[in-house]
Amino acid sequence: MSTKKLKIVSIAAEVAPFSKTGGLADVAKSLPKALKRLGHEVMVITPLYGQIIDTKTHNLKLIYENVKVYLNSVDKVQINFWQGYLMRGLPIYFIENKKYFSAKKELYGSRRENVRFLVFNIAALKLISLLKYEADIVHCHDWHTGLIPYFLKTDFKYSETLHKTKTIFTIHNLAFQLGHDWWAVPAEKKDYGKNKIPHITDSDIENINFAKRAILSADIINTVSEQYREEIMTTNFGQDLQQILRNREDKLFGIVNGIDYATYNPQNDPGLFKNYDCNKINNKKLNKDHLQKLLKLKVDQELPVIALTSRVTFQKGFELILQILEPLLHLDIELVFMGDGDKEYINEIKKFAKRYPKKMAWLSFKENQKMETLLYAGADIFLLPSHHEPCGINQLIAMRYGCIPVVRRVGGLMDTVANYNPRTNRGNGFSFSSFNPYSLYATIIRALENYRYQTNWHKLIFRVMRESNSWEIPAKKYVALYRQAMKRHK
């Protein structure tokens, strides 16, 4: 096996701790770090969201100013490039254009989203050329970076710096393919990935399908779990791209995400009331007491606390949750929700929280982000009954803190959560298959029944806390994929 040190560029629309709306930011931070620890040369590129990222707080240095970047023969923009560090020896570069990345406080939601990320894609390639960084691999994360593989096969094909570079495109969630809902694009306006990119003043640019072009152009495509890799080649999960994915099946792989064990560590997490590890599980109870007091719930160790931390969307199973909330709240349990998203769902959750103030609490993720790990430490059960789930990171974090997952058997949840069997003492959580409220309710009841047997429950906590879900193994799998991409001819 080759031991050559690789030169890798990782490109993503969000990178924690600088910018974050979801799990993509965690992956875009943690994977480059894991690759660096394996001895590879890595750099990261992301937009500079002016109203979110403070250049002084993060000690960013302006390295190129007012660089003219041509988007095509007519359109051009001026870009500033900044440099910071994710860790020692791992630079992160920021692309600044106030018009496209500093106009609002949110990362996304512009009516010209495709134009914004077209600018980002070309500016990222321009930066690599300016740095004369002869990358072996450009790793593109999700639709926001989808035109990079396309441009490396077209406009940048003969680039002095990039002509030997191979690309890998990671699908984090196939539902997101461009800056707007892919299904809202009229049939006659659909992008088939062959035509030239329109000028930025042409409204048709907002119909360009970044993800489709990446799938057609990348040397390697991967998803964030092995099960999701299988699912997206089917009509039910393929989001209208199943055929082109089946056509490129030999280039399509699945690698389950990891989590950063330095960031998520109950042994030294400053966000906890009392730190603990798998050998001091009783200290977890002190976090439960603290959480119950903090949220004005009934303080009672015997009451199982169920936590849910995710975006509040149909995808995450809220349609099912709302259908069983009433009977669920008649049980001897407590519920804690943390998340932002669909206003209708959130309003319904708030109504229940108002009716059952001693049994249920809802917290906005945006306003209470620092409390997230306290929820895992204080809760007994973690709930994620997703309709579809490419990987899911929260169930991995929950298990790291000894919070037992109840999930739907789909995508990455199927790859990471095995049904617990008390007779054999195997499994690490509770799962169900059919997307309906009865199956979800029955699985929660099964988890609650097992919770009553505290000796066995403690053994289950001990086992899930000892599982290895760090980035070390996934990072090695990515390196193997990179080497495979490098063997392929353009």
Give residue 31's identity as a one-letter amino acid code. L
Pairing of strands 61-70, 76-87: antiparallel
User: Between the CA of residue 391 and those of 15, 222, 340, 408, what are the distances in Å?
Assistant: 18, 12, 19, 12
Confirm if 35 and 89 have CB atoms less than 8 A apart: no
Three-state DSSP at 84 gives: strand
Q: Which two tokens stand for residue 44?
A: 């990261």
Instruction: Give the separation between CA 326 and CA 124, rounded to whole angstroms.
Output: 50
User: Between the CA of residue 428 and those of 98, 310, 394, 417, what are the distances in Å?
Assistant: 47, 20, 14, 6
Residues paired with 307 in a beta bridge: 336, 382
Nearest partner of 405 among 415, 419, 390, judged by Cα: 419
DSSP 8-state symbol, 202: S
User: Between the CA of residue 228 and those of 242, 256, 384, 399, what are the distances in Å?
Assistant: 12, 9, 16, 21
Task: Enumerate residues 6+ apart whose C-beta is below 8 A from 176.
Answer: 142, 143, 211
Three-state DSSP at 428 gives: coil
Confirm if 479 and 38 have CB atoms less than 8 A apart: yes
Q: Prior bond to 17 cis, omega within 30? A: yes
Q: What is the full DSSP assignment across 249-284?
A: GGGEEE----B-TTTS-TTT-TTSSS---TT-THHH
Confirm if 398 and 377 have CB atoms less than 8 A apart: no
Q: The sheet that has 334-338: what strands, in order across it?
A: 360-363, 334-338, 305-309, 381-384, 404-408, 430-432
Strand residue runs (E) in 396-436? 404-408, 430-432
Q: Which two tokens stand for residue 260?
A: 């950063």
Q: Which two tokens stand for residue 224?
A: 């964030």
Nearest partner of 30 among 49, 15, 12, judged by Cα: 15
- 76 belongs to an annotated ligand binding site: no
Confirm if 387 and 315 have CB atoms less than 8 A apart: yes
Known binding-site positions for ADP-alpha-D-glucose = 20
Which residues are annotated binding-site positions?
20
